[in-house]
């Protein structure tokens, strides 16, 4: 689930790096430059880009509606189309049968030709299969250098991290529970104990804790 409604699945990040002067003008340029681009009428398999946090059709960002200083609120729209292996196998076979009908009796299709026909079948299917759309919300506290992503799977995190860095040139560091705890107890008497902490529970006993 996302950040706006229902139970939230969240990944926390620390944002580091120095953006150029004119921060909000910089953000506006980079958001628009890396906005989502539609692949509905193409054979592209994947498109990743920014959109409004509450409307994945909105990629215009009129009046910088995503900016609620010091927060940046954006959606990461991911459109992806997949060709099922069984469907590709079927249409590849149809393409090969069609090509064989033009060959002299006893001749077979070569490996290169078979691969060409497989690519042809795949492109034909990609043109007919609509992409699946998913939206992942992002809230970035630019004053504190903290960011929340409404997702926690490694695949989505990788897509998000790559797109964020490409957009803004800033670094992202996942806020793991241990790092959060370390910041909370920094400078206190509990800090050394945290560094020496070990897992507790059945797994710890199995490891000889």
**3-state secondary structure string, the chain?**
CCCCCCCCCCEEEEEECCCCCCHHHHHHHHHHHCECCCCCCCCCCEEEEEEECCECCCCCCHHHCCEECCEEEEEEEEEECCCCHHHHHHHHHHHHHHHHCCCCCCCCCCHHHHHHHHHHHHHHHHHHCCCEEEEEEEEEECCCCEEEECCCCHHHHHHHHHHHHHHHCCEEEECCHHHHHHHHHCCCCCHHHHHCCCCCCHHHHHCCC
Res 199: pLDDT: 61
Same-domain pairing of 61 and 143? yes
- Domain range for residue 112? 85-128
Phi/psi zone of residue 137: left (φ > 0), alpha (ψ -120 to 50 degrees), beta?
beta
Distance separating alpha carbons of residues 67 and 107, to the nearest angstrom:
65
Distance separating alpha carbons of residues 145 and 118, to the nearest angstrom:
48
Same-domain pairing of 64 and 140? yes
> Half-sphere exposure (CA, 13 Å, Cβ side) for 74?
30
Q: Copy the structure tokens of residue 23.
A: 């921060």
Res 169: pLDDT: 95
Res 115: pLDDT: 94
Same-domain pairing of 75 and 116? no
Among 200, 118, 131, 158, residue whose Cα is nearest residue 13: 158
Same-domain pairing of 99 and 122? yes
Q: Copy the structure tokens of residue 7.
A: 């139970």
Same-domain pairing of 54 and 111? no
Same-domain pairing of 55 and 137? yes
Same-domain pairing of 76 and 163? yes
Q: What average pLDDT values come out for the chain (209 residues) when binned by 10 residues?
A: 66 91 95 97 95 97 95 98 94 90 80 92 93 97 96 96 97 77 67 66 51
Same-domain pairing of 118 and 159? no
Inter-residue contact 194 to 181 (CB < 8 Å):
yes
Backbone angles phi, psi at 77, to 5 degrees: -90, 130
Same-domain pairing of 145 and 55? yes
Q: Copy the structure tokens of residue 80.
A: 């992806």
Burial of 20 (0-12, 13-18, 19+ CB in 10 A): exposed
Residues whose CB falls within 8 Å of the CB of residue 209, separated by 6 or more in sequence, listed in order: 198, 199, 200
Same-domain pairing of 45 and 65? yes
């Amino acid at each position: 689930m996302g950040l706006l409604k229902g139970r939230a699945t969240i990944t926390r990040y620390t944002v580091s790096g120095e953006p150029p002067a004119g921060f909000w003008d910089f953000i506006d340029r980079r958001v628009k430059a890396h906005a989502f681009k539609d692949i509905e009428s193409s054979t592209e398999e994947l498109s990743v880009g920014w959109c409004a946090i509450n409307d994945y059709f909105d990629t215009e960002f009129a009046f910088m509606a995503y900016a609620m200083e010091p927060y940046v609120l954006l959606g990461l729209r991911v459109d992806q189309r997949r060709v099922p292996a069984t469907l590709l196998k079927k249409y590849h076979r149809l393409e090969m049968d069609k090509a064989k009908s033009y060959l002299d009796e006893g001749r077979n299709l070569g490996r290169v030709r078979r691969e060409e026909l497989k690519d042809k079948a795949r492109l034909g299917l990609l043109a007919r299969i609509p992409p699946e759309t998913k939206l992942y919300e992002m809230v970035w506290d630019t004053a504190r250098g903290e960011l929340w992503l409404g997702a926690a799977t490694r695949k989505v995190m990788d897509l998000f991290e790559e797109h964020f860095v490409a957009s803004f040139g800033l670094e992202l560091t996942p806020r793991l529970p241990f790092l959060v705890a370390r910041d909370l107890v920094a400078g206190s008497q509990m800090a050394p104990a945290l560094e020496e902490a070990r897992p507790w529970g059945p797994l710890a006993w199995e490891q000889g804790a």
